């Protein structure tokens, strides 16, 4: 079964998207254009996210409010987790609306917020729980395996590949929820198919994310100015390009009009970004 009910090829069906619009270069160009067009609000969202999810937890840890005498204080840790998750989901919703609707207004933001919050939180908790169980099993087979080195390598290799695949699925979970609003468990199904469709490409993006994560840790300014907004905006653009292969657009926008919009976006000259005052 395919990811979507793709229209049959016929003289009356809309043309397929040009490979130029689906290439990695086009993905980067579309991301850069939309990020540039909404630079100030996106940077503002990320600074707010950084203060809520970075500065506050750091202050609580520094003053030993969360972790005192080597023990977690659940009365602080659990509300803090809910706070960080809520701030991250608010940032994700804001980024998605800016990239796909071109504007961020309160009415659009709050509409369906509670349902989105519950679904997105459960998606993250389930994904994180499975990831933790996978890592625990990996630790178990490395330290308490009674069946010998060969079996250990077989089990560990299988678990590592599963964890890599499962981690790649997270690239699409929240974007699919915002893009299509499918039933809850169908979100995992769609994310699974999206990774399965292009597994090597998905793994490459996962490695790219890991490298940028480490870079931001070495250069903390990256977390303040780019951080979560950079990662999630790229995930949204990646999903858009993947679904475009199946002629699926956000809010069922006219397919041919959307292709024309992407073509104009892809043709914007780089001079516009370097010297916008010289462009008419």
- pLDDT for 194-219, tens place per residue? 999 888 889 999 999 999 999 998 99
> Measured between alpha carbons, how far is 232 from 227 in angstroms, rounded to an integer?
9
Residue whose pair of structure tokens reads 């303040």 in the numeric block:
224
pLDDT band at 57 (very low <50, low <70, confident <90, very high): confident
**Cα–Cα distance list, 112 to 93, 173, 214 (Å):** 11, 17, 34
Beta bridge partners of 67: 72
24-42: pLDDT as tens digits: 888 888 899 999 889 999 9
Helix 39-50 to helix 24-37 angle (10° resolution) is 90
> Measured between alpha carbons, how far is 136 from 67 in angstroms, rounded to an integer?
23
81-138: pLDDT as tens digits: 889 899 999 999 999 999 998 888 888 888 888 889 999 999 999 999 999 999 998 8
> Measured between alpha carbons, how far is 118 from 154 in angstroms, rounded to an integer?
38
- What local confidence, expressed as pLDDT, does residue 167 receive? 93
pTM of this structure: 0.82
How many other CB atoms sit within 10 Å of the CB of residue 225? 16
- E strands, 37-77, are 67-68, 71-72
> Measured between alpha carbons, how far is 59 from 163 in angstroms, rounded to an integer?
32
> Measured between alpha carbons, how far is 256 from 115 in angstroms, rounded to an integer?
32
How many other CB atoms sit within 10 Å of the CB of residue 90? 18
Percent of the chain with pLDDT over 70: 84
> Measured between alpha carbons, how far is 206 from 160 in angstroms, rounded to an integer?
14
List of residues 6+ apart from 134 with CB closer than 8 A: 159, 162, 163, 166
């Amino acid at each position: 079964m395919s990811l979507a009910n793709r229209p049959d090829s016929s003289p009356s069906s809309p043309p397929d998207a040009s490979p130029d619009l689906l290439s990695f270069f086009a993905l980067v160009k579309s991301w850069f254009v939309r990020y540039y067009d909404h630079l100030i609000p996106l940077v503002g969202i990320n600074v707010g996210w950084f203060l809520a999810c970075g500065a506050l937890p750091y202050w609580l840890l520094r003053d030993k409010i969360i972790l005192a005498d080597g023990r977690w204080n659940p009365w602080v840790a659990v509300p803090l987790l809910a706070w960080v998750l809520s701030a991250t989901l608010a940032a994700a919703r804001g980024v998605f609306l800016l990239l796909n609707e071109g504007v961020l207004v309160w009415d659009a933001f709050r509409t369906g917020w509670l349902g989105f919050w519950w679904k997105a939180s459960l998606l993250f908790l389930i994904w994180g729980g499975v990831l933790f169980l996978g890592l625990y099993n990996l630790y178990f087979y490395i330290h308490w395996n009674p069946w010998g080195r060969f079996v250990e390598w077989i089990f560990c290799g299988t678990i590592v590949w599963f964890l890599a695949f499962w981690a790649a699925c997270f690239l699409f979970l929240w974007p699919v929820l915002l893009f299509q609003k499918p039933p809850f468990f169908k979100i995992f199904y769609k994310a699974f198919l999206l990774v399965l469709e292009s597994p090597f490409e998905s793994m490459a993006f996962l490695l790219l994310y890991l490298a940028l994560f480490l870079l931001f840790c070495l250069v903390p300014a990256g977390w303040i100015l780019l951080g979560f907004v950079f990662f999630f905006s790229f995930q949204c653009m990646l999903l858009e390009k993947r679904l475009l292969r199946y002629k699926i657009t956000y809010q069922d926008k006219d397919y041919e009009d959307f292709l024309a919009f992407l073509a104009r976006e892809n043709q914007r000259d780089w001079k516009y970004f370097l010297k916008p005052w010289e462009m008419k």
